[in-house]
Structure 1
Amino acid sequence: MVRPLPSWASALAGAVTLLGLWWVIGASAQASKGSAAGIPTPPQVLQSISESGWAFYWNNFSITVREAAQGYLWGCGFALILAALVLVVPRLEGVVMQLAVVSYCIPVVAIGPLLLLILGVPAQGEPSTTAAALGALCVFFTTVVGTLLGLKSADRASLDVVAVYGGSRFTQLRKVRLVSALPATLTALQVAVPAAFLGAILGEYLGKVEVGVGPAMIIAQQSLNAPRLWALSLVSGIVALTAYLLVGVLTRLSAPWAKGQTA
């Protein structure tokens, strides 16, 4: 009987495979097109990271992470409040869901310039409010839907017990629904982490920001510096993945019963 590989071994094998394919494709493209290929090899990207230095990445990513964190807190906080309000006042569900769908369907490229006019240009070296707002917009739909589905998954018998003993809708929300909704809500919050980071970067493209991942990518693109552009993209993925995994650890610690574990 063949034993399945551990999850870490599968992830490592996938990463090595992708790295090998990247190396082969980059080397082949450069052999045929030279420096105009636009696909550097992994050693060239690592060399670019080393040449840029820690200060370059810290200065840019610290601003973008702050914007993403602000957007994440705004969007998820507002979504959680609305989802809880729906359980207390069920008639608001249609309005909240329509609001969530509209926020999801609005093109970021279209709403970005409007937010820039409303919120203004940030001071030099300060986080962009426009980028934070776009980060909030990117996480709102996912959090609202995931939280509502979790709140509605509560056991009907438990809700009836609270009602029989004279409990109100708010008591049902506090005693039953929040506990039942915790796994789905935390999963929605985990999925929202990379979306907030992506929204912040997109906001920097539109928000006339001088420091951040977005401006650094624009400068690298305009100067045809492919290794730095790939390096910024790679580090962005690592930062988003790290935040995603941290929230995943919080999910397992906060709701171990969702994975069949004991507290």
Structure 2
Amino acid sequence: MTRTRVPGWLAGILGGVALVVVWWIFSMTAFPPQEGTTFTPVPSPLAVFDWLFLQGNIAGAWNVFAPTLAAAGIGYVWGNGIALLLATVVLLFPRTETVITQIAVVSYCLPIVAVGGISIVVVGGAKSPGDPSATAIFLAALVCVFTTVVGSILGFTAADRSALDVVHVYGGGRWTQLRKVRLIAALPAILNALQIAVPTAFLGAVLGEYLGAITAGVGPTLIRLQGQLDSAGVWSVFLLCAVVALVAYGLVGLLIRLVTPWVAGKAV
């Protein structure tokens, strides 16, 4: 008996439709509008669709997301750059692994809300309206460090020992081993860590804006909509955040497949 396999794209569509149906039923049964009002903390998908498209709020989405995306992008580059540098130091000087790993773990375990409050005082918000927040950039960079450091170290140490020995026999040092063997072997792990860091950096930027000291971006928009008890608007922004993070994650995943085709078993 042959099983019929559902294509991945069809499974994704069916899963999305099922999620919307469950959301709709949940909003109508568990969180009906309060008596005498139309307010509900969990609006229906129709209410969100109305807010986004029928009321035309989707037209201003880019102005809302532009500062946040800029902050997330800058923080992503800085955070992952520092993480890759730390992983390279561990590879060249193995005795530093314990210290650098502890630094990465501490950066992951720090309460980000408390760090964000301190960073507002230290680095401040945006220099001018529409600019990315310095606090958002800092938090976006901070949350990227742990995953990229750990993923890069694991990738660097996954190199084939015989290949390393060949480089050593021909007079190559650690730096040559890094360039000729370890970097190629570690590339899939490093790129996977960088992919995971994409939505993480975006979340850090949103949180940095949400803490204040900025007038434009996703964070201030959420604060304004919550103050107006506009639940449909809040949920709409949340869903747009999820879409942005998912699209960015998917684009990096596509880049990984193009850069490392041998991982998927394709010919180089």
Does 2:230 match 1:229?
A: no
Mapped partners of 1:32, 1:59: distance in 2: 31
What whole-Å deviation, never above 9, does each CA across 1:78-112 have from its counterpart, x for those lacking one? Answer: 10111112111111111110110010010011111
Mapped partners of 2:117, 2:233: distance in 1: 27
Does 2:127 match 1:98?
A: no
Trace 1:106-185 onto structure 2 (pairs within 5 A): 106-122=110-126, 123-185=128-190
Mapped partners of 1:201, 1:112: distance in 2: 11
What does residue 250 of structure 1 align with?
255
Mapped partners of 1:52, 1:203: distance in 2: 27
SS in 1 for 2:238: helix
CA contact (8 A) 2:104 2:145 kept: yes
CA contact (8 A) 1:30 1:36 kept: no
TM-score (norm 2): 0.95
- State the 1:29 CA deviation: 4.1
What whole-Å deviation, never above 9, does each CA across 1:11-57 have from its counterpart, x for those lacking one? Answer: 11111100111111122245464534311111110111122434421
- State the 1:60 CA deviation: 1.0
What does residue 88 of structure 1 align with?
92
Gaps of 5+ in 1: none
Higher fraction of helix: 1
Paired residues, what number? 263
What whole-Å deviation, never above 9, does each CA across 1:153-203 have from its counterpart, x for those lacking one? Answer: 000000000000000000000000000000010000001100000000000
Trace 1:23-34 onto structure 2 (pairs within 5 A): 23-29=24-30, 31=32, 33=34
Trace 1:66-77 onto structure 2 (pairs within 5 A): 66-77=70-81
Mapped partners of 2:33, 2:82: distance in 1: 52
Tell me the amino acid that sits aligned with residue 6 of structure 1. Answer: P
Mapped partners of 1:120, 1:32: distance in 2: 40
What whole-Å deviation, never above 9, does each CA across 1:202-239 have from its counterpart, x for those lacking one? Answer: 00012411110011111111111010000000000000
TM-score (norm 1): 0.96
What does residue 49 of structure 2 align with?
46
